[in-house]
Structure 1
Amino acid sequence: MCIPYFIVRMAREYANLFCFILFFAIVQYSNSAQSVLRTKDLEEKRWRMVFLANSGNNQNVYDAWVKGTGTTSVKPATLQRTHGPHYRDDTFLSAWTRTDIVSVKFAFYDQYRELAHVIFGGKGTDAINWFEPEQVLSSSYSDLTRHGTYNLFSIAGEGRWDVDRRFYINRNYGGCDNDAGHFAVTDTNTKTGCAWDIHPVYPQFLYSKINSVTVWDRRLFGRADFMAIFVETKRRRY
């Protein structure tokens, strides 16, 4: 028995439509099933959030951290995307060197989960020099340790050649095709950097999506929604 061609064609079209609807429904269910991260959960037990930067809000992250430029003192309750100003705990940062800090956590997030992090020792540091390789205690990368090899590892990052890479952890240079690292905050569009410095909006929080250093130009990096800094202080016993 031969089935007319138009019936076969119609069946294929309906099958494709059904698959598309099913895929869309699964994606929607998956997104709705995820809960936006709450600040109080991220701070649970040991951490205090002192800084939260938003990607794509056109506000300089480096100036916000160092100078408090354009920041808000109102801590967000969740990591819901708003493109609002960066949050900065001015009171804590002004007292950093007078506070008994145990450790500092630097982390990238989307709305639903942590994407990558580094935990640094905080004893005897200030608001700038905690972000150094000698202070690394642990990280989400197997090769990001205090004994690793880095050509740049600092908050100030890279400003030469008219590029603007902050909170920069990079292993090596070798021309744009060979630059490799773990983290980079691209603060502004200088229009003269490498191709991987160019994005639709700024700032951008770039991180390696593999369990090690990545060659930036291969585009094996992710773009996080948020950059957060937490501190753990020594608890006093009374």
Structure 2
Amino acid sequence: MDNKVCLALLILVLISYVSLVDSKHDGYFRRLAGLRIRNNILTFSLFKETHCCLKCLQYGDCHSVNVHEKEGTCEINRFGPQDSGAITEVNRTWSLYYKSNAEDRELMLRATAGIEISVRDTWLGRVSPPPTQDTCIAMATGACSTHYRNPKVDLWNTLYISQVILELYRDGSRVMFMVFNGTGSDLESWVSSFRLMTSSWAMLSPSSNFIYFSLKGDQPCSRIFLIQQNYGGCPKDAGWFVVLDPTTSDCCLGQWSDLPNKPKFVYSTTDNVAIYQSGDVDYADVLAVFVKYSDH
């Protein structure tokens, strides 16, 4: 068998592993339209999607490719979209193709306590925090002085998200988690008692009593990600979790929510609801939001 025949057979084998996927995420490579990884290592011209994916398979350290269909540009990346070292941007003229054997979940938000930057406005894309340091990807506090927001948050409605996981960390250790059904959700609706699947609180369930269970929370009081059982006058306010976002005023002056150096991530340390103005709550250093994707 001559070299040309061998090459032809090799290409056929490779093509059997490569699928020019649509938004359903089928095939060996998955496609994210409108996303590009900036720190690429090689660039080729006059390439179509299939050729670019084939090029990726020829390089052992290639995890993804950027494709500009109109210009025929192919960029080889050593990072995938889930890798913490990836510098990503939303760019509608590009598509990102990445190997489907990716990490099980992806970090979408990593918020830092005490830095006086709104978590809600960061999550909704209303403010742009300062550039993130490497320490802003790890769950330990480190020297991070900002929030990390994954650019893919802007593509939320086009992603096939199956679960959303909210976690709190203190001194690098996880102290709270909640898992939500993310199917068909948007940037705010995934925080809902009806979507709650499981949590670290044994007594928290979709049938529990709430006056608030939402990301929007109690806006006049700048209380977001609020899971609240009751207001009974500030000393009796009781709930499971709240983010106290930076604000110029407070609804409980001199009481439990009137704290310096916000945001504050306040959570019940028991298996049940806690009165905030008690010894049954604590304060986390880091809030993280992860997503898991469905297979179709």
Question: What TM-score does the superposition give when structure 1 sets the normalisation length?
Answer: 0.75
1:81 is aligned to 142
CA deviation string 1:9-54 (max 9, x = no partner): xxxxxxxxxxxxxxxxxxxxxxxxxxxxxx97xxx95221100000
2:280 is aligned to 220
Residues 1:145 and 2:201 are matched in the alignment: no
Give, in angstroms, the shift of residue 85 of structure 1.
1.3
- What value does the CA root-mean-square deviation take over the aligned residues? 2.0
Q: Is the CA contact 1:157–1:166 (under 8 Å) kept in the aligned structure 2?
A: yes
Query: Aligned partners of 1:202 and 1:178: how far apart in 2?
Result: 22
Q: Going by fraction, where is strand more abundant, 1 or 2? A: 2
Give, in angstroms, the shift of residue 179 of structure 1.
1.1
Report the 3-state secondary structure (helix = DSSP H, G, I; strand = E; otherwise coil) of the residue aligned with 2:226: strand
Query: Aligned partners of 1:68 and 1:227: how far apart in 2?
Result: 19
Give, in angstroms, the shift of residue 218 of structure 1.
1.6
1:67 is aligned to 125
Query: Aligned partners of 2:182 and 2:277: how far apart in 1?
Result: 33
1:221-236 correspondence runs (5 A): 221-235=281-295
CA deviation string 1:128-165 (max 9, x = no partner): 100011000000001221121110011111123xx211
Q: Is the CA contact 1:68–1:88 (under 8 Å) kept in the aligned structure 2?
A: no
Query: Aligned partners of 1:192 and 1:45: how far apart in 2?
Result: 41
Q: Is the CA contact 1:100–1:123 (under 8 Å) kept in the aligned structure 2?
A: yes
Q: Which has the higher contact order (CA 8 A, sep 6+)?
A: 1
Q: Is the CA contact 2:141–2:285 (under 8 Å) kept in the aligned structure 1?
A: no
Q: Going by fraction, where is helix more abundant, 1 or 2? A: 1
Give, in angstroms, the shift of residue 235 of structure 1.
3.1
- Residue of structure 1 aligned with 2:241, choices 183, 205, 209: 183
CA deviation string 1:159-191 (max 9, x = no partner): 23xx21111111111111221101110012444
Question: What TM-score does the superposition give when structure 2 sets the normalisation length?
Answer: 0.61
1:1-238 correspondence runs (5 A): 46-71=104-129, 72=131, 76-78=136-138, 79-90=140-151, 92-160=152-220, 163-194=221-252, 195-235=255-295
Q: Is the CA contact 2:132–2:146 (under 8 Å) kept in the aligned structure 1?
A: no
Q: Which runs of 5+ in 2 are unaligned?
A: 1-82, 85-101
Query: Aligned partners of 2:119 and 2:250: how far apart in 1?
Result: 20
Give, in angstroms, the shift of residue 192 of structure 1.
3.5
Q: Is the CA contact 1:53–1:61 (under 8 Å) kept in the aligned structure 2?
A: yes
Report the 3-state secondary structure (helix = DSSP H, G, I; strand = E; otherwise coil) of the residue aligned with 1:228: strand
Are the structure 2 counterparts of residues 63 and 186 from structure 1 closer, same or farther at C-alpha, using a change threshold of 3 Å?
A: same
Query: Aligned partners of 1:77 and 1:189: how far apart in 2?
Result: 26
